């Protein structure tokens, strides 16, 4: 039994008398079509038929490739394709067929072929650079056949279309309804674009592995979340206590009150990860060693800048160092100007960062035995 790979063309203006049968004849035909009109979509359709034929032959099947074509009105063209199919069926004792088409017009002939021989598959060729409406039709069909794309694109659009009239009725304002829908769609796109769904899907497994493996970071992450919540709460209280100020000043007040807790949260989380690496591996990457120091350094710098803006705006008074006696030495009280205080915070942040770099390099220095082993 033989399988027919049939490329259907309804235009009818071939350089050979249809049906064109056989590997060499079809190869010659596609060369003639390509030379005559390189932009003809039939070239890709015939080449696809040759590719399918080659793949089926590689699988050990008995395959014959043919190009069926007819011109004229609808009835005469359909009958001509039917006669060509019957001719091939009688000549090659066909058992099944694979039909290759490149347009919706050609696809209308598939039932005619199917009425003469069993059609196992229909291969629709869509040229990537095609600009005609038929290619758009096939692209839409491929899009609608992809379940993941349907969920990602069509579901948000459908929800937005349903929510818009409801929100417009409740808010009695098209602008409010459109703004709310745009915000929700924006959040959804960020959710998908940043891969948050994948992170959330893998989070239960990571927590389970952390519990079973006894990682220190699990506890420190919980501590970090608690400290971060305290920081947000402290920042909100600070903002509520600062009334009648510009939004920028309110943001600086939030940062000033929240950054110590947020820095502590980052320090706790990064320290837990560092301890996990120390317990698990003999050699720890420098990034894990630098992270706690980097968190503290960034916290110092942000605290200094927020304090500078708040003092300059008159929200806080300048910091005053009280007088003190240290043994026989007496230190007079002094007031630090905002820029001096900012400079001290910046220098402290740089110093902590340098300490982290030095500590990391010292921590990762190979010992003498390892150096001797590597040299040998």
b/e per residue 69-80 (b: at least 16 CB within 10 A): bbeeeeeebbeb
CA distance 89 to 119: 12
Cis peptide before 19 (omega within 30 of 0): yes
Which residues does 253 contact at the CB level (< 8 Å), separation at least 6?
Answer: 235, 238, 239, 242, 245, 306, 310, 315
b/e per residue 183-200 (b: at least 16 CB within 10 A): eeeeeeeeeeeeeeeeee
Beta carbons of 224 and 269 less than 8 angstroms apart: yes
| DSSP line for 129-158 | T--SHHHHHHHHHHHHH-HHHIIIIIHHHH
Which residues does 49 contact at the CB level (< 8 Å), separation at least 6?
Answer: 5, 6, 7, 26, 65, 67, 100, 123
Residue 320 per-residue DSSP state? E
Which residues does 259 contact at the CB level (< 8 Å), separation at least 6?
Answer: 231, 299, 302, 303, 306
CA distance 169 to 164: 9
CA distance 287 to 216: 18
CB atoms closer than 10 angstroms to residue 363: 15
Q: What is the pLDDT of residues 234-248, one digit of tens each?
A: 988 888 887 667 888
b/e per residue 8-31 (b: at least 16 CB within 10 A): bbbeeebeeebbbbeeeebeebbe
Indicate the pTM of the whole model: 0.46
Spell out the per-residue pLDDT of the chain, length 376, in tens. Answer: 789 999 988 877 787 888 889 999 999 988 988 888 887 878 889 999 999 999 999 988 899 999 998 877 678 888 888 999 999 988 888 889 999 988 777 888 888 999 999 999 988 887 665 555 556 666 676 666 667 767 777 777 788 777 877 777 777 777 777 877 788 877 877 777 777 777 777 777 766 666 556 677 778 888 999 999 999 999 888 888 876 678 888 888 889 999 999 999 999 988 888 887 777 765 667 777 788 888 899 999 999 898 888 888 877 777 666 667 666 666 666 677 888 888 988 999 999 888 888 877 776 655 444 544 545 5
């Amino acid at each position: 039994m033989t399988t027919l790979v049939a490329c259907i063309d309804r235009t009818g203006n071939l350089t050979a008398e249809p049906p064109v049968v056989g590997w060499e004849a079809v190869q010659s035909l596609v060369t003639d079509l390509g030379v005559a009109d390189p932009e003809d979509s039939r070239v890709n359709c015939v080449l696809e038929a040759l590719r399918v034929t080659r793949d089926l032959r590689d699988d050990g099947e008995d395959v014959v490739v043919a190009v069926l074509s007819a011109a004229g009105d609808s009835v005469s063209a359909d009958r001509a394709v039917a006669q060509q199919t019957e001719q091939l069926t009688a000549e090659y004792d066909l058992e099944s067929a694979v039909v290759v088409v490149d347009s919706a017009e050609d696809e209308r002939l598939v039932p005619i072929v199917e009425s003469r021989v069993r059609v196992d598959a229909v291969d629709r060729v869509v040229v990537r650079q095609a600009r005609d409406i038929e290619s758009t039709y096939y692209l839409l069909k491929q899009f609608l056949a992809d379940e993941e794309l349907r969920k990602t694109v069509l579901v948000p659009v459908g929800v937005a279309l349903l929510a818009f009239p409801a929100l417009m009725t409740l808010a009695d304002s098209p602008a409010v309804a459109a703004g709310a829908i745009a915000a929700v769609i924006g959040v959804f796109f960020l959710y998908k674009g940043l891969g948050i769904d994948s992170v959330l899907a893998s989070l239960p497994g990571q927590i389970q592995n952390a519990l079973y493996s006894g990682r220190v970071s699990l506890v420190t992450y919980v501590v970090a979340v608690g400290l971060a919540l305290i920081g947000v709460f402290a920042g909100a209280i600070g903002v509520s206590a600062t009334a009648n100020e510009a939004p920028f000043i309110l943001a600086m007040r939030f940062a000033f009150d929240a950054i110590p807790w947020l820095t502590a949260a980052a320090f706790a989380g990064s320290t837990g990860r560092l301890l996990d690496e120390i317990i698990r591996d003999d050699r720890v990457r420098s990034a894990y060693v630098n992270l706690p120091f980097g968190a503290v350094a960034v916290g110092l710098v942000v605290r200094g800048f927020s304090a500078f803006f708040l003092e300059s705006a008159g929200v806080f008074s300048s910091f005053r160092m009280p007088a003190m006696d240290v043994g026989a030495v007496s230190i007079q009280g002094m007031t630090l100007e905002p820029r001096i205080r900012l400079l001290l915070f910046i220098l402290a942040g740089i110093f902590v960062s340098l300490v982290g770099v030095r500590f990391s390099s010292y921590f990762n220095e190979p010992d003498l035995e390892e150096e001797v082993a590597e040299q040998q």
